[in-house]
A and B are shown apart, each in its own frame.
Chain A
């Protein structure tokens, strides 16, 4: 990596946030880790982005896992019909 690419990366927030996302859901190379580290050292805005991004992932995960998942219910009428069609099929077999 020459000085020129380093300088480019050091100021490129688009690339840095891309790497922040890639790092969280997959993996980034050693070189990419270095690039990101250099960028974050000098960029408070992207450091905020990273903090928030990590929290958002956790919130999204929480949102769709127990115990919140149990809050939604099918109405009884629909369930009765559903049970009816299952029983009917079972009788046939």
Chain B
């Protein structure tokens, strides 16, 4: 275990920003947080529990190397995040096997006319109360938002989540999920068009 503070001879604290690593306290301090973090990103409680456990065990293995440059919670979250990205990758490559060309997003059931790119009349966005940001919109909306996100194809949801939840860079997302930049933008676009349509349909 590392000491968080260094002391000078006259006992003044030197602000070295070294953080402690105290595995005995991990469950009490971080288990719920990490669990919530995982559940919101993979929407699978059981898998999320497993990931929390794996995170702690992996962290224990690495505890000796913990250098205290970041806080324990940041460090643990980073380990968990990598495990979540592994899941995304596995899920989307599973998709790769089942379908021939999953990344090349299909044009069928498109929202736009093929010849001129107009909105198809039945898909034209309409105002439904989501034109102005309202942070107090409430749980019911959150619930619908989550459900609509879950309807997106796995790869799209992975891209969308990494971008909007974790604000990862485009480069990171493309390399972690192995999509080309061109496909990345197609996915970002189509995920939003679909998500918006789902919200309009269900939030009235």
Contact = CB atoms under 8 A, between A and B. Distances in A.
- The main secondary structure of chain B at its interface with chain A is helix
Interface string B16-51: 000000011011100111011101110000000100
Nearest to B111: A14
Interface stretch (B3-11, B81-89, B93-101, B123-131): B123-131
Contact of B185 (A22, A46, A52): A22
B170 A73 contact: no
Interface string B177-204: 0000000010011001101100110000
Given A14-B112, A63-B146, A52 B131 contact: yes
A72 B33 CA distance: 8
B131 A51 contact: yes
A interface, how many residues as a size bin? Answer: 35 or more
Contact of A55 (B31, B112, B132, B200): B132
B interface, how many residues as a size bin? Answer: 35 or more
A85 to B, nearest CB: 7
Contact of A74 (B35, B119, B170): B35
A56 B192 contact: yes
Given A55-B133, A61-B165, A70 B36 contact: yes
Contact of B36 (A14, A59, A72): A72
Contacts of A18: 185, 189
30 contacts: A11-B117, A18-B185, A21-B192, A26-B185, A52-B130, A52-B199, A53-B192, A55-B132, A56-B145, A56-B192, A59-B130, A59-B137, A59-B145, A63-B142, A64-B41, A68-B142, A69-B40, A72-B40, A74-B49, A74-B52, A79-B27, A79-B31, A82-B27, A82-B52, A85-B57, A86-B23, A86-B24, A86-B56, A87-B24, A90-B60
